[in-house]
Structure 1
Amino acid sequence: MNDSGSHATATLTALDNGSLRVKITGSGFTPNSPHAQHIHGASGSHAFMCPGPGADKNGDGQVATEEGLAQYGDVFVSLTTKGDTSKASGLAVDRMPVADTDGNLDYERTIPAAQLPKGTVDSLQHLHIVQHGLDANGNDKYDLAALGESVFAKSLGVKGIPEEATNPATCGEVMPSGAVETGGASTDGIEQAGLLAFGGIALLGAGAALITRRRIRTTA
């Protein structure tokens, strides 16, 4: 999204004990910077999608977080590296993954069932993953000079956060990818989403079709 240059692939695995394993591998992110990331949507809802350029209501060339929320939904699970994973941790940048010097971002965490909203596993295929943080002016960091102050962060009472830090960089719909065989996972709970930086619904649909036909097979 937003010409961020970021790309990532996420794999979500529902385990037999009700927990959720999340693995994300990506590149093209703002180097040495934290990237807030969340599962967005709502339990049982099919109404959400990744926003296209038309969601840019103020015409500044960027789909800001507050502009995209109506389409991909509110924060459902905060994909932090440790601790709380609720909506309250949506801006907990001190617990979000940090891209390395080359802009690569890797994340893996198993979130216990007790920390997941009711209905998360049953609603996986209707949820979205959004990663935030982009470098609009190409200086390898977040700053106020590029897009100004984050309207979204300010609305939550957090001042001085660059808009670059909160604008969406990737968005992808979680799609079924087939059965899986592992030591601890169920055989029908694997979901995978391509987080496409260019954000087109048609492109997401094409990618999803490929993912659905693909069978993932692993051994314990």
Structure 2
Amino acid sequence: MASEYPGAAASFNSSPWRRSLKTAVSALLLEAGYQAADYMALETLLEMVQAYITEAGRSASTFAELSGRTQVMVSDVIMALVEMGTDFTAIPKHARRENKTIFLPPTQATQTPVSKILQVGEKKRHPPHIPDHLPAFPDPHTYIKTHCYKQPANEYQLVREKAASQKRDVEVALTRFIAKTGVTHSLFKDDKSAFPCKL
């Protein structure tokens, strides 16, 4: 099933789903007696199979939702296939055919052992609904909630500057308060820079 199309390698490696589907379509073509296939013909068959599977899945999901369920059951898939005009009773016979191509399971990549020097605590195992091929949970210490506070400035000069700034702010605020609430007599009525300034 080699292809001579220049863009074949790029699209073939684009997604694992597409690669698996292409392998399945190629195996079905080999079973049917074909020895080679044109790239565009293979892509057309691939698009047809993908559209068929997508439509069957969408229909089955719709039947599940109409029944008030969130997960698809076998009965939903059967109803979707019947609606699409497929004879679902031929599926078991097709699965038990004699010259079928058997796909080997993907080889498991050996995982590099994590050094125990930097590990803190015991790692949690995956719950039953998470497949084992997914990465493990991080170390338990990463879940500990640690509050972060800004370190107080304890250098003498910074503390003195802050205290002086606060004292000056208090004096200005108090003076403005007294100027607003108390009676003042200005010598120069038109002087805009005279204290207290109008806010």
Quickly name the TM-score band, shorter chain normalised: under 0.3
Greater strand fraction, Structure 1 or Structure 2: 1
Point out the structure with max Rg over C-alpha: 2
More helix by share: 2
Q: Scaled by the length of structure 1, what TM-score is found?
A: 0.20
Q: Per chain length, whose mean CA-contact separation is higher, i.e. which structure has more relative contact order (CA < 8 Å, sep 6+)?
A: 1
